[in-house]
Amino acid sequence: MKSFDQSSQKVEQLHEEVRMRLKQKQTPEQIYNSLEEKGLEPYYIKTIIQNVEDEKDDKNSFRNSMIMGIGYIVGGIVINILSYKFAVESNSFVFYIFWGIVVVGIVTVIRGFILYRK
């Protein structure tokens, strides 16, 4: 069990090093070369770099999903309120309910959380 903890710590340290180097605007080739000098296997280096880049893409997808989802929810609620107000002002008993937009927003937010937890 102790060797598993040490292995997972070493993997996390390598991931953190790659994240740091990417933040410093190093290219994947530069990162690859520096990790290769440490004696790591080429396929393992490529896997680590790909994993870190995928994490970054997932975080961007999460942010975009949250913004779109909240936009749909707010937009749907505003449209529903405007439809109701228009019906009241025109003395009509009929108004349109656009809950589909709100549901799409909720689903989009849930999808964003799923991406975030991945």
**Model confidence pLDDT, tens digit, residues 11-34:** 888 888 888 888 888 888 888 888
pTM of the model: 0.61
Single-letter residue type at 73:
I
74 pLDDT band, cuts 50/70/90, is: very high
Distances (CA, A) of 109 to 81, 102, 115, 116: 22, 11, 10, 11
Q: What would the pLDDT profile of 25-61 be if each residue is shown by its tens digit? A: 888 888 888 888 888 888 888 888 888 888 888 787 8
